[in-house]
A and B are shown apart, each in its own frame.
Chain A
Amino acid sequence: MTVIALLLVLVAPQEGVDELIRQLTNELVEVRMMAEQKLVKIGEPARAALAKAATSGDPALMVRATVILKVLDLQKDLRAWRAPSARITLSGEMTLEAAVREIERQSSQKVQCHSWPEGKFRIDLKDVPYWEALESVCAASGTRTLHATEAGPVLGGTTYVKVPAAFSGSFCLRFDSLRESRRFGIVHGRESRMLALLLHLGWERPVAPAKTYLALEEVKDDLGTDYLGAFREYESRSSSGGAIFVNEPPPTYMKALHKGSFAVLAEKASTMSIKGSALIWFRASPDDLEIPIPAPGEVIEERINICDTKLDEVGSPRLTLSEASRKGTTVGFDLSISGMDLRMMHDTWQLWHLKDRAGQKYVGGPRRISRQNPGHPSQTVTYSFEFSSIPASAELSGFVIRIPKRVVALEIPFALKDIPLK
């Protein structure tokens, strides 16, 4: 009877959304899973019915419908930011407001301006990417400066100031500031100096990157002073504990990229040039990685998928759990990661927890890391974990790492010149 029911489901042509939603509560797990997959595949047209199911009052249906809705949300986000950059064509004599309104119309994106200046200017743009079009109209107007903010592009100030910037598709990397600071500790008479760089990475449509990293390749002033070593030394000695994939960030139009150093600017230098890449990782799966705890002597391997912007797989780093032990209330094991760009995990915290069959979470962290070498994806790093105060009665079901099972990785190379130092 069960086999027949399953066969009927499998051969059924093109079930309607309502029928698939009904199948979400079918007693057969295979039927439920297939219905889930089909609803995900149908996508947005199934949203309204799923939203209704998510408030139906049937607990099992509500949970399953909510999970599918989460997948649909994620797919919607991915589709939004992967869309190609808008191309702008604009020609004639016009006010800044008229030019920006036309860019808004062609890109379907909002641009803010605190007050629109009067006066017309001539502009001639043909098939120009979005960010470059905005920069061009500001420059031609001479009355406002473009800023990439979390709320989207903003035209501010009362004049146009050329900000060192680099454009790549729907992304725009802009110089924000250099902060040179000196702290004199009065109690111990110690002086410390810092030089911090802040860049703004803006995008055309709101997205929620799970993690960003600023990789510098060259930092030089016009006298030839090289600051790269000072930035790298600072990174190797400091940690601010930034979150990765921990709190799902809300969609935003901009992310500030910060880099500190112990460098002191050369007194007579007047400009700086910076080369590097902005690395961004996006969640492409709603689930985090969960690995079963191995029995003593056992080795368990899992992989995550790294994709490009077309969602094609470009890598599958390997995560291996081994050397598991349980003594009293302490659980220990080793996690080895190989083939992964460890910059994705640089400067992170609260990335791990154990889970028992009752759903209880036990938070802990690595007691030792064998190698942490950001920027060398081919190398292996081993974390030795020790979770204490685990009740003897806890039936551990898995080790959860707050990294999505599927991640989209993007690298945006940039070169910024003529950054003012005065």
Chain B
Amino acid sequence: MVLILALALLLQDPLVDLDSKDPLVARRAFEAAIRTGDEKALEGAAKTSERAKEALAEVRAHLKFGDAYPPVRTFTISLKDRPFEEALKDLGAALGVPIEPPPKPAPGMPDTRPERISLELRDAYFLEAMDRFSVASGCSLWLQEGVIKCSPRALGPALRHYWRGCVLWPDSLNEERVVTAQGSKKTTHLEIRLAVDGAARWAGIKGVRVFEARDDTGRDLALEKQDNWWGFRDFIPGSAYPFPVALKEPASGATSLVRVRGAIDLQLPQEPYFVELDLAPGVREAKAEGISVRAEVKPAGDVHLTCTILQLDKPHLRPSPSDFHLKSADGKLEEGIKTATGPPNAPVIQWSIAGPAGFKPAKLRIRFFKSFGEHSVPFDLERVPIR
């Protein structure tokens, strides 16, 4: 009997767990299905399961976008009554990112840093692990230029929806009535914020779609037509970007949105190709669709880059710091430390790249892309208060 049960468990389709009511089991099955990458099995399961459909889209996105959409890691961390500073180190080691502990309070000021931390994380995404640590410690953690910063200030409660390398949360409900001599018009927008962990090279935004939206009186609020005017987003890791989602007007007695489900359609680059510029004295230039890059070695050894955006109506063509590497004469690639000058959405961006001490750059390797494709980040928000 036991043998039969064990055999049955072994033969059981692992994709069944994709729709498990236990979110942890569903998450694990979801990531396992993406890692396995069995498109045929997922195609079959996708006929009846939304989660299988989403996993299939992820498998295909990883294949299609390659390095621009790398595999997503999950983290399992167990901290039992650990001193705060030790716990921060453990978290940093697990996530593979240095953490700057919060500064000691000024003399005479109360020390609000926690003494000890207990936290159990299983298969958490990167940004989720940071948030969960924040909630457990009462400190805010945020990602800034490759370092996790920490301050002894509690993170506000938020209905956070974690989606692999992204986190989304509803920030505000905005209702507006515009009265003109011609009449009045009402609009309602749910502003969703999106933050990314920086692993994927998101390039731009195509739009927002709403599949389902209901308030607690049962009124259907879903609107097919969205504003879909999107300005430039540079997707700096840790920064939160607003996405207004147009909804129908909630009922006057409604106090919450029972469910808002949809997707943010983003752009990712594909078909990368590389151009190398000799870092000899003088100015060198490389051009690609919509971009021109000029490189110049400065006397101090750092490389100055001037990227001119030639097609301002195509913000997704804008290069990202990860598109530039220094290359030594023996072919060693180095990311270097990049310092930007000016606002990220300026038509001309300037970066200074400095390699580590002793590294002699011979060439600048630039990654350009032949085309851009779409990929969606789904959101599913429940019980969103609106009054």
Q: Which A residues contact B (CB, under 8 angstroms)? A: 145, 157, 161-164, 175-189, 191, 420-422
Contact = CB atoms under 8 A, between A and B. Distances in A.
B180 A186 contact: no
A144 B175 CA distance: 30
Given A177-B178, A422-B179, A188 B387 contact: no
Contacts of A177: 178-180
B47 interface: no
A187 B156 contact: yes
B175, B177, B386: most-surrounded residue (chain A CB, <10 A): B177
23 contacts: A161-B181, A162-B181, A164-B181, A175-B180, A175-B181, A179-B178, A180-B176, A180-B179, A181-B175, A182-B175, A183-B172, A183-B173, A183-B174, A184-B172, A184-B385, A184-B387, A186-B158, A186-B172, A186-B173, A186-B384, A186-B385, A187-B156, A187-B171
Nearest to A164: B181
A363 to B, nearest CB: 15
A200 to B, nearest CB: 11
Interface in B357-387: 384-387
B177 A184 contact: no
Interface string B8-40: 000000000000000000000000000000000
Give the secondary structure class of B's interface. strand
A189 B181 contact: no
A184 B386 contact: yes
A175, A176, A185: most-surrounded residue (chain B CB, <10 A): A185
A189 B172 CA distance: 9
A183 B177 CA distance: 12
Closest 3 CB pairs of A and B: A163-B181, A181-B176, A184-B173
Interface in B141-166: 156-159
Contacts of B385: 184, 186, 189
Contacts of A421: 179
A263 to B, nearest CB: 13
B182 interface: yes
A179 B181 contact: no
Contacts of A145: 181-182
Nearest to B387: A184
Contacts of A188: 156
B158, B172, B173: most-surrounded residue (chain A CB, <10 A): B172
B182 A187 contact: no
A178 B182 CA distance: 12
Contacts of B158: 186-187
Interface in B180-198: 180-184
A181 B174 contact: yes
A164 B179 CA distance: 13
B177 A180 contact: yes
A420 B181 CA distance: 6
B170 interface: yes
Contacts of B387: 184, 191
A161 B183 CA distance: 10
Contact of A186 (B170, B175, B179): B170
Nearest to A422: B184
Contacts of A176: 180
Contacts of B178: 177-180
B156, B169, B181: most-surrounded residue (chain A CB, <10 A): B181
Contact of B176 (A162, A164, A179): A179
